[in-house]
Amino acid sequence: MSVLLPLYRTATVLGAPAISWYLHRRLARGKEDGERFHERKGEARRPRPTGPLIWVHGASVGESLTMLPLIERLLQAGPELNVLVTTGTVTSANLLRDRLPPGAFHQYVPVDRRTYVTRFLDHWRPDLVLWAESEFWPNLVTEPAARGIPMILVNGRISPESFAGWRRYPGLIGTLLAGFTLCLAQAEQDAERLRALGAPAVKNAGNLKYAVPPLPADAAELGTLKSAIGERPCWLAASTHPGEERLLSEVHRDLKAAHPGLLSVIVPRHPERGPAIAQELSALGLNVARRATAEPVSEATDIYLADTLGELGLFCRLCPVVFMGKSLVDLGGQNPLEPARLGRAVLFGPHMWNFPEITEKLVAAGGGRTVTDAAELAAALGGLLADEAAGRRQGDRALEVAESEAHVLETVIDELRPFTDVLGQRTTAP
């Protein structure tokens, strides 16, 4: 065991007052769920269901939604199973409330103090743990393994930055990865990094993001919006982050003269930023309508700010061209398969290091295009708005990429079968 692990555990014990202060500060800022705050301390208000229980963890929205097709298949294959899904954000909890299938339920993941993790495990007693992507909290990872609970890393990903960081602490990451019975990487490069960091059993199973179905949308709402917009040209900036909205306002100004009536739709990744974004863009002289406050789209509207939760699929269907946010700022980008799966032409900035393989495939197939700054985005977007046929061709190629690895879910299910079959046998054992 790495000497850093005992030091970490000691720090979380001695730092209990600071951790408590930090959590209550997050609670005051609306970043924690006041009604379910006890779950972050490992407490549960519902009993453990009878029968086998699989614990699935995804850090936030992206990871948890990626796991949904897998959860559905597990429950179909074993109706006696129960699936506990944990995440750490209020946004992900709200989305999963509407999208989890029967047999699955959500809890907030406990903060990584050993006391909280032990309390969580004592109550739920999972028979199998499926861990999504790359969130390696020391206590959450080592405690199930210490109890002999099989742990499998699913859709494992190690970014270049994380790889460089973990290599400075080989003993600690080696200890953490040793707790995984199997690591299923989402790409060969991730598999190589996991092996280099000490994971004992690694396979490249493919990226489960290819198995996620199209984002949902309300058909009636889509019809209402189409009627309100009419023949106006429109485009979507999806999952934007701080620093990007001002750049996108420049793009709108650059294109408005050449495309009269242009409507720019902005969906911020965090809807609670809506008031601040509206204030910023209005101060720049733009007419902004906020969806969260039911402000209608009028002929004078420049920016439709869709600061609501769970409606990205609606606006991807509304707009033929989609720019993926978090990529003009150096934060790693958002999942470009979401608009690609709906046949939309996709544009993204230079910082897509969270999705390198998907980005490369989209660019190579002609379904996506990288722009380096706001000026290049305006040029690329202007060309697609002017040539609708070219936009449709790019969208068709993006859809081909999105559908190219639909088999990945079957591959992952096959790798999990030795572990899930054992769970099924336990239900018939005396």
Residue numbers annotated as active site: 63
For residue 53, what are the β-bridge partners?
82
CA separation for the pair 426, 150 (Å, rounded)? 15
Measure the CA angle with vertex 59, ends 86 and 33; round to 5°. Answer: 60
Whose tokens are 């339920």? That residue is 105
Please, are residues 190 and 52 in contact by the beta-carbon 8 Å criterion? no
Pick from 131, 136, 129, 204: nearest CA to 169: 136
What span, in angstroms and rounded, lies between the C-alpha atoms of 430 and 426? 8
Helix (H) or strand (E) holding 104: strand 104-108
CA angle 272, 275, 281 (to 5 degrees): 125
Tokens representing 343 are 């046949």
Q: Given phi > 0 = left and psi -120 to 50 = alpha, else beta, which region is 239?
A: left
What per-residue string of b and e applies to 340-374 under the rule 16 or more CB within 10 Å gives b?
A: bbbbbbbbbbeebebbbbbbebbbebebbbbbeeb
Residue 375 DSSP code: H
Let me know: does 353 contact 377? Beta carbons within 8 Å: no
Query: What is the Cα–Cα distance from 100 to 71, expressed in whole angstroms?
Result: 8
Q: Give me the amino acid identity at 155.
A: N
- Asked if residues 152 and 423 have their Cβ atoms less than 8 Å apart, the reply is no
DSSP string, 218-242: -HHHHHHHHHHHTT--EEEEEEE-T
Tokens of 86: 């944990």
CA pair distance 119, 228, nearest whole angstrom? 52
Q: At 78, list the tokens.
A: 């074993």
